[in-house]
Amino acid sequence: VGDTVVNGSDKHYGVAMYTGDQNISTPVTNKLTAGMNGVGLYAGGNTGSTLKYNGEITVGNGAAAGTGIFVKNGSKVTLDSGGKIYLNGINGVGVYVEGNAEFTFGSGSSMIFSGSGIGIWGENGSVINDSGAGIINSSAGAFVIRSRLANGVININAPGIVLGNGS
């Protein structure tokens, strides 16, 4: 999928995979790619979607990243063991979680940043379950915030959380 296109005040997001009101019981393993300011996986619909993802998502064009997974209101998404999100550029967001949505950062999964960004952004009323998976910053001097939450819940179930610089 290509870049997000801005035309005046309109934005047309490049989305690699969209789920609308789907409860997917088998883990999704498809390799997903979106360009600058794109979205790798959008879990949404009117009532929300539920799924586990353990493939690879790559978002960005080297200069500007995008959002790996967008979890819309009413949706529940797990980045399962083996799942990886690559944010290729600056200002990337690994996972954006709306209010009344839930995201689980499963053990054995990871987010890899080539520039500054935010691992998991949670809106008011969101739930983030963090199992201590890895966030790797591979660009010297880049700054990555693991989680940022606006009046929601973060459940941490991990023996230790490590941020690293892959350079």
Could you read off the pLDDT tens digit of each residue along the chain, which spans 167 residues?
788 888 888 888 899 999 999 999 999 999 999 999 999 999 999 999 999 999 999 999 999 999 999 999 999 999 999 999 999 999 999 999 999 999 999 988 999 999 888 889 989 889 998 887 777 777 656 666 777 777 777 776 755 444 444 43
For residues 31 and 25, give the distance between their C-alpha atoms in angstroms, rounded to a whole number: 18
- How far apart are alpha carbons 76 and 96 in whole angstroms? 12
Position 161 scores a pLDDT of: 46
Host H or E run for residue 153: strand 153-156
C-alpha 7/C-alpha 127 separation (Å) is: 34
The predicted pLDDT at position 139 comes to 66
Task: Give residue for tokens 């999964």.
Answer: 109
